[in-house]
Structure 1
Amino acid sequence: MLIVPVSGKIGWKNPPIVTLLLVAINCLVFFLFQTGDGTSRMTAEAFYLESGLAQIEVPYYLDYLEATGKKNDSHPSPEDLDEEALMTLHFEMEADARFLDHLEQGKVIAPEDPQYEKWSHLRQSYEEKRDQSIAFSWGLRPAYQRVLNYFSYMFLHGGVDHLVGNMVFLWILGCMLEIGSGRLLFIVIYLIGGLAAAGLFCLIYPSSTIPLVGASGAIAALMGAYTVLYGIKRVTVFFSLGFYFDTVTVPAIVLLPAWLVNECYQLFFSGASHVAYVAHIGGLAGGALLAFIGERLVGVDRDSFEAAPEDKVGPLMDRALEHMGNLEMNQARELLEEVLALSPDNIEALTHLFNIHKLKPESEDFHGTAKHLLGVLIRDAANPEKALGVFKIYVGVAGRPKLSIPLYLQVAGIMAASGDVEAAEKIVMAVFKRKPDAPALPATLAKLAEAFRKKGRTNRWQRCRQLICKHFPDSAEAAMILQSDSST
């Protein structure tokens, strides 16, 4: 069963830096240090079989199983030890901490044993080859605990699939938690939650010799924290039962028992697995507790955990486009007007509405929409070309354009900046004749003069400057021209 939260806010003005760093560290550790782990382990196991070490140790292990009453019908007799049986028993032996402890202490193959010297040399060579695997050396093995491995195991993975799966979950949860919880509390939950996961794993499997690796325990801690920090707020969750999947909206805190029950079910009923369900349980519980304590000690940004506002614009736009595709323009127009009531400067909606009204260029709706769209595009500095495109379409279609003087001058300024000086000059001169006292004229003339200067058209440049100084002597542009002339 898969349960994944899909609610949350991601903002690049304040990006989840710690999450990005954790993802980067996990990926760097794997691709810089772990890509050879599989080869190292296969080399070690091939050596174990081919060197004769298996033929020495495995019979002793069979004797140990029989002496301790652990031997059963599935175990072969010493006479039936082919390569497959040898390696099967070898892997079972490597997971038997008590036998390995006896083996290392010389209680299985004693120094006086004729095979001791050969065995000791082969065993040392095997362990050196095996320990070249970063996962084996730096993963957490409860039977051979080292303090540093309680941290290092969180940044190791068993393969690319393992890494990618964990990083996807880390990214999802990091985007939903880091900003609201604060970066300090977030990293504390991640690291201490990872320790809680490791602690429970070692408590339940104290004799395990198999290395625990992976970020999933720490990520489970973030999942536990998610349920506490979002609390009773309703969140959208994707779930899959294998044969059925869907989304559902539930209070976030409900996910904590749901996740715990799911992990317990997998632990007891999923059969043999390489997944450390116990570590997940420890992480979930630890993360929930840490979030509960952290919220009261250091506080969190509650606004970040508020539900994202419902997107009303998107569905309306989709329906409007569908009607336009079916040439149902009246229905599309009504929906686009609803969009603009919610988002007055929505460029996409204005553009579609402009194109619909263009079918009736004599209508006031066409002129009004053109003015609105041009105003928005001009204010949006990223869309000067689109503004000019809309202006040219409007002027070409409208019998008598009805733009305001300031809007005409703004368009002329964009034309001048884009290099279309003739069209810009035509608009500026028309405005100058019609309304010579227009407030924006000096600034637009200055832009036009600069455009002429860049094109090397000195006469036109001088003419614009003269118009400014003669008709707008008190303007800032005239003062700048006089200052420039006096300095040269």
Structure 2
Amino acid sequence: MIIVPTEKQLDWRNAPIILCTLVLLNVMIYFFYQSGDTKKILESMMSYQEQGFLEQEWPVFEKYLEEQQEQELLQQYRREYQANQVELIVSDILMREEFYAYLQKNARQHFLPDAYDQWAPNRALLHKQMQSISFIANGLRASDLRVFSFITHQFLHGDIMHLLGNMFFLIVCGFAVEAAIGHWRFLLFYLLSGVAAGFAQVASDWQSTTPLVGASGAISGVMAMYLAVFRLKKIEFFYWFFFLVGYFRAPALLILPFYIGKEIYSYYTDTGSNVAFMAHAGGFAAGALLIAFAWLLNRNMFNKEYIENDQGIDPQQQPLAEIYESIEKHRFDRALVLVDELMKERKGNFELAMIRYNLLKITRGEHYHEGIIHLLTVPLLAPEHIRQLDKVWKDNPEVHGLLSEQAAMKLGMQFAALENPQSAEQVFMQLLERGCKNPALVVYAGKLAAAFQRLRDIQKKSHYEALSVQLAQQLAQGV
């Protein structure tokens, strides 16, 4: 469920200088600093295996896991080691700084003197390279607290979607907070919220060795600041709960306990998640408290004119607001009529196509399949949209054969960019079954080979590379 405040529109008379700087800094750090992490990890793993270190260290690692009482993981690794599927084992060994310390302490008991003398300096170089990886060098770890990491972890991200998601929420809430409290105060409160989020996460598990990275805690603070700035004034919120979307108005501060409660509830119930729920809760609490203290100390520091100024709905958003209002009141037929009218003006709009699909899904009317096909053929999609289409594709197998070859080809190639290319592979096989002769099928096979290379599935990578060559030869011969 998503609930975000939408009371204020961007006003360049109150230019979000710090916000733009923060977004740019996060993006640059991800693409210019963190981009080298994957290469370092792969090089270290290859070097580790080429030097035969796994065979030397495996008995020590088994003993270490037993002492750590990680029996379930140990059994899993033993099966993988026997099957020579050692990638996860090697990655875990290299990532565990505490295991390297254990090795240094105990290696002489397990290695022959000559083997130890050869192993020690080369293993130290590998460990040093792994320690230079961004989230290890500058992430926040409870087991290895460093003062600077309370700041640096806020500018690191796990993957591109982590980055994009955080920057979206920062932009949505950040410009209004910066306009309300001023540039430098916004920067200070942003960083302090991130520090408080880090403390909250660390305090939830003092023994954790997992690095905390991401701006989520600081951004949670910004969201809380937004609510605290408006206090009990009724402001507009946008919500998205499965297929229900819309706007509602409520006193700003009433939403804050919901935000914090949701994160604490998730912390106790979703124990298998890698989301830092306590960091989010800590950030929310810190952001609200910072605004409260600032308000008590000096109310003149707030831009009251900006805060009190009511903004009407953007004319461009008015039709969407009417659609969401109809959905909120369960007037689905009326909402569908409004969507159809707006789609005539805004052709190729993914949001409208998705709303139409969800409305048709409720009623299961005669245009349901047509709505699915229209959604699956919307052009120029963002990565998040492709993930949504992947689910639509899997949920509606009855329409697979209704797509044209060209539309299926385009959709499948987009699916090939996903983390799991299962749907891309399915579309490809369906095109082969249809007897498709489109030359783009050669490129499609190449994309699948690249997808399985990312997943380190060598068998399927080789299969699709060979298939790409075979298809190219068949097309050249006119078969």
What TM-score, normalized by structure 2, do the two folds share? Answer: 0.59
Q: What do residues 103-146 of structure 1 show as CA deviations (whole Å, max 9, x unaligned)? A: 34x14555975443344234213223323422321222222222
Aligned to 1:275: 275
d(CA) in 1 for partners of 2:34 and 2:78? 37
Q: Secondary structure at the match of 2:12?
A: coil
Query: Aligned residue for 1:305?
Result: 307
Match of residue 12 from structure 1: 12
In structure 2, the partner of 1:223 is 223
Name the structure 2 match of 1:22.
22
Aligned-residue offset at 1:218: 0.8
Aligned-partner residue type, residue 308 of structure 1: D
Q: What one-letter code is carried by the residue in structure 2 that aligns with 1:281? A: A
Structure 2 counterpart of 1:194: 194
Bigger helix share:
2
Instruction: Provide the secondary structure at the position in 2 that maps to 1:35.
Output: helix
1:55 aligns with 2:48: no
- Does the 8 A contact of 2:264 with 2:277 survive in 1? yes
Q: Distance in 2 between matches of 1:288 and 1:253?
A: 9
Q: Which moved more, 1:149-158 or 1:34-43?
A: 34-43
Conserved 8 A contact 1:49-1:87: no
Alignment partner of 2:236: what SS?
strand
Give runs of aligned pairs for residues 212-251 of structure 1, distance below 5 A.
212-251=212-251
Matches of 1:298 and 1:309, distance apart in 2: 26
Distance 1:71 1:291, change over 3 A: same
Asked if structure 2 preserves the Cα contact closer than 8 Å seen for 1:166 and 1:215, the reply is yes
Q: Which amino acid aligns with 1:7?
A: E
- The Cα of 1:201 is off from its aligned counterpart by 1.5
1:110/1:2 CA distance change after superposition, 3 Å: farther
Superposed, 1:80-229 pairs within 5 Å as: 81-82=81-82, 86-90=86-90, 99-104=99-104, 106-107=105-106, 109-110=108-109, 114=113, 115-229=115-229
Classify 1:66/1:29 alpha carbon distance in 2 versus 1 (closer, same or farther; 3 Å): closer
| Counterpart residue type for residue 265 of structure 2 | Y
Following the alignment from structure 1 to structure 2, what is the Cα–Cα distance between the partners of residues 142 and 315?
45
Q: Secondary structure at the match of 1:56?
A: helix
What is the CA–CA distance in structure 2 between the aligned matches of 1:84 and 1:7, rounded to whole Å?
57
Give per-residue Cα distances to partners, 1:338-382, cap 9 Å, x unaligned: xxxxxxxxxxxxxxxxxxxxxxxxxxxxxxxxxxxxxxxxxxxxx
Q: Tell me how far 1:198 sits from its aligned partner.
A: 0.9
Matching of residue 266 in structure 1 with residue 263 in structure 2: no
CA 1:71–1:26: 2 relative to 1, 3 Å: same
1:74 and 1:61, CA in 2 relative to 1: closer, same or farther beyond 3 A? closer
Contact 1:110 1:116 in 2 (8 A): no
Question: Would the alpha carbon gap of residues 92 and 73 (structure 1) be closer, same or farther in structure 2, given more than 3 Å must change?
Answer: closer
Distance 1:165 1:315 in 2: 22
Could you tell me which residue of structure 2 aligns to residue 479 of structure 1?
none
The one-letter amino acid of 1:102's match is Y
For the 8 Å contact 2:107–2:116, the answer to whether it is kept is no
Paired residue secondary structure (1:250)? strand
Provide the C-alpha distance between the structure 2 equivalents of 1:80 and 1:314, rounded to a whole number of angstroms. Answer: 56
Q: Is the 8 A contact 1:111 1:117 kept in 2?
A: no
User: Measured at CA, do residues 74 and 301 of structure 1 come closer, stay the same or move farther in structure 2, by a change above 3 Å?
Assistant: same
Q: Distance in 1 between matches of 2:7 and 2:21?
A: 22
Q: What is the rounded CA distance, in whole Å, between the counterparts of 1:81 and 1:132 in structure 2? A: 27
Q: CA deviation at 1:80?
A: 6.3
Q: Distance in 2 between matches of 1:78 and 1:307?
A: 65
Distance 1:73 1:155 in 2: 32
Q: Once the two structures are superposed, what CA deviation does each residue of 1:440-476 show, in whole Å capped at 9, x if it has no partner?
A: xxxxxxxxxxxxxxxxxxxxxxxxxxxxxxxxxxxxx
Q: C-alpha separation between the residues in 1 aligned to 2:108 and 2:211? A: 25
> Aligned partner of 2:276: which letter?
A
Distance 1:212 1:250 in 2: 33
Mapped partners of 1:245, 1:288: distance in 2: 27
Once residues 189 and 226 of structure 1 are traced to their aligned partners in structure 2, the CA distance between those partners, rounded to angstroms, is 12
CA shift at 1:307, angstroms?
Answer: 5.6
Rate the CA distance shift 1:185–1:80 in 2: closer, same or farther, 3 A. Answer: closer
What does residue 422 of structure 2 align with? none
- Aligned residue for 1:400? none
CA RMSD across the alignment: 3.1
Contact 1:43/1:129 (8 A) holds in 2: no
Measured after TM superposition, the shift of residue 195 of structure 1 is 0.4
In the superposition, relative to structure 1, how do residues 241 and 271 fare at CA in structure 2: closer, same or farther (>3 Å)? Answer: farther
Amino acid aligned to 1:208 = S
* 1:167-216 per-position Cα deviation (integer Å, ceiling 9, x unaligned): 12111111111111122321121011110011112222323333221111
Cα distance change on mapping 1:18 and 1:108 into 2, 3 Å? same
Cα distance, 1:39 vs structure 2: 2.1
SS, match of residue 272 in structure 1: coil
The Cα of 1:222 is off from its aligned counterpart by 0.8
CA–CA separation in structure 1 for the residues paired with 2:224 and 2:86: 43
Structure 1 pair 258–198 and aligned structure 2 pair: CA distance change class (3 A): same
How far apart, in 2, do the equivalents of 1:51 and 1:83 lie?
Answer: 20
> Please, which runs of 5 or more residues in structure 1 have no aligned partner?
319-488
SS at match of 1:284: helix
For structure 2, the residue ranges without an aligned partner over 5 or more in a row are 321-479
Instruction: Give, in whole Å, the separation in 1 of the partners of 2:273 and 2:318.
Output: 47
AA aligned to 1:304 is Y
Distance 1:188 1:76, change over 3 A: closer
Alpha-carbon distance in 2 for matches of 1:22, 1:162: 15
TM-score by length of 1: 0.58
For the 8 Å contact 1:58–1:90, the answer to whether it is kept is no
CA distance in 1, matches of 2:244, 2:175: 27
Structure of greater Rg: 1
One-letter amino acid of the structure 1 residue matched with residue 193 of structure 2: G
